[in-house]
Amino acid sequence: MPFTSLGLSDALLKALEEQHFTTPTAIQISAIPAILNKKDVLGIAKTGTGKTASYVLPVLMNLQQEQTINNRHADVLVLVPTRELAEQVKNVFQVFARALPERFKTLAVYGGVSINPQMMALQGVNILVATPGRLLELVDSNAVDLSAIKTLVLDEADKLLNLGFKEELDKVISFLPQERQNILFSATLSNDLKNIEQILLQDPVIIEVEEEKTDLDLINQVAYIVSDAEKGPFLRQLIKHHEMKQVLVFASSVATADAVVNKLRKNSFNASAIHSKKSQGARTDTLHHFKSGSLRILVATDLMARGIDIIDLPFVINYELPRSPKDYIHRIGRTGRAGSAGAAISLVSQNELHHFEVIQKKMGKTVNLIDGKNLL
């Protein structure tokens, strides 16, 4: 099903094409028409399934139709658990809002930075993306009025509840008008979320995207014991040795991802990073270049793991192990797709060996472990 069948405007369809979005994901196919029809929506989908665009696009279209301009009265409120997600959501809104003839202002507010610039920037905001604590500070300072909110979005609602925002969520909701559209997205359907759902949602459209199963039999897994200090040179030698033309490398933090890319570039490797600190436009361009083959090495964090779907990706390398065995499976599952074989290589330091044993046990497979000194 193409984006053209979902009821989006020509301007947004053109913006999707410019951002290299070609085919809607399962969550987008179901959520976009429901949100356009002003239905309450509960979407259960993992990170990386395209859920942000699934509400950003129809919310912008609904704003277009209403053409509401307020002073300090935002029309749309998106609640998120972290400042990183707040910036990411804001960037997606801005990317698509630029394609519209109307001018809609999006602002992200969160703690950890000065509140004064955020207070000043609230003038004329249509779409407010916020963490609950900072939002309540702004409400208490009379810097923002939530009485005109027409659409409430809880993005990563399960994480909001897991991080202990329940009381703050209740307080925020008390400031909102009774009549509004409510949209909840979550990776899981917990008991806490069911309670929130019952309070917030009226006759909701419930969308649950089943998690894609990874066929581990198609993935040739191998691991090398390598010290942390040797991982950089070992990675470069590994890419050379196997003549890797396209390889996805996973790091566990933004800082490590950037450091790996810097070292690769200094050694004349064509590499770029994709993570939460990059703008939406930068991430889209980088992923496009990687998929097209013009970028040889993509270094990513787990936040981006689920959003990278490339048929016939030959190599995945774990520069560092993820904390969760599930994340390990999602990482290596970027290769060995659509019936094609792939290779997953992990660089394991001595202090990661026990954790790697846990990963293998949870996965139900034993991975051949080789001393890195004997490879090349």
pLDDT tens-place string over residues 257-281: 999 999 999 999 999 998 878 776 6
**The token pair that represents 317 in the structure block:** 């390398």
CATH 3.40.50.300 assigned to domain 216-374? The reply is: yes
Per-residue pLDDT for 338 more than 60?
Answer: no
Predicted confidence (pLDDT) per residue in 136-176, tens digit? 999 999 999 999 999 999 998 888 887 778 889 889 999 99
Asked if residue 297 lies in contact with residue 249, where contact means CB atoms within 8 angstroms, the answer is yes
Neighbours of 329 (CB within 10 A): 19
Which of 79-88, 329-338, 354-363 has the least mean pLDDT? 329-338
Reading the block at residue 353, the tokens are 């060996």
Contacts of 322 (CB under 8 A, 6+ apart): 250, 252, 302, 328, 331
pLDDT (0 to 100) of residue 276? 74
Q: Is the dihedral of CA 24, 28, 29, 32 positive or negative?
A: negative
Q: Mean pLDDT across the stretch 190-205?
A: 78
E strands present in 18-93: 41-44, 76-79
Residues in the chain: 376
The stretch 75-93 carries a mean pLDDT of 90
Could you read off the pLDDT of 16-37 as tens digits, one per residue? 988 878 888 889 999 999 999 9
- Residue 29 · residue 1 · CB < 8 Å: yes
Q: pLDDT-based confidence at 48, cuts 50/70/90?
A: low
Give the per-residue pLDDT at 160: 83
- Tell me the range of 161-170, 244-253, 311-320 where mean pLDDT is highest: 244-253
Query: What are phi and psi for residue 50, nearest 5 degrees?
Result: 90, 20
Which has the minimum average pLDDT: 128-132, 234-238, 304-308, 332-336? 304-308
pLDDT category of residue 71 using cuts at 50, 70 and 90: very low
Write the DSSP symbol of residue 73.
B
Q: Which amino acid is at 202?
A: Q
Asked if the domains 3-208 and 216-374 are classified in one and the same CATH topology, the answer is: yes
User: pLDDT by residue (tens digit) across 213-241?
Assistant: 666 888 899 999 999 999 999 999 999 99
Of 59-68, 175-184, 220-229, 316-325, the least confident: 59-68
Highest-confidence segment of 189-198, 214-223, 299-308:
214-223
Q: Is the pLDDT of residue 180 over 80?
A: yes
Dump the DSSP string for 297-343: EEEE-GGGGGG---TT--EEEESS--SSHHHHHHHHTTSS-TT--EE
> Is 70 exceeded by the pLDDT of residue 41?
yes
Vertex 375 angle, CA 370 and 376, to 5°: 165
| Domains of the chain, residue spans | 3-208, 216-374
Instruction: Classify domain 3-208 at the CATH topology level.
Output: Rossmann fold (3.40.50)
CA distance 368 to 349: 15
pLDDT in the model for residue 306: 53
Which is more confident, 4 or 340?
A: 4
- pLDDT value of position 309: 64
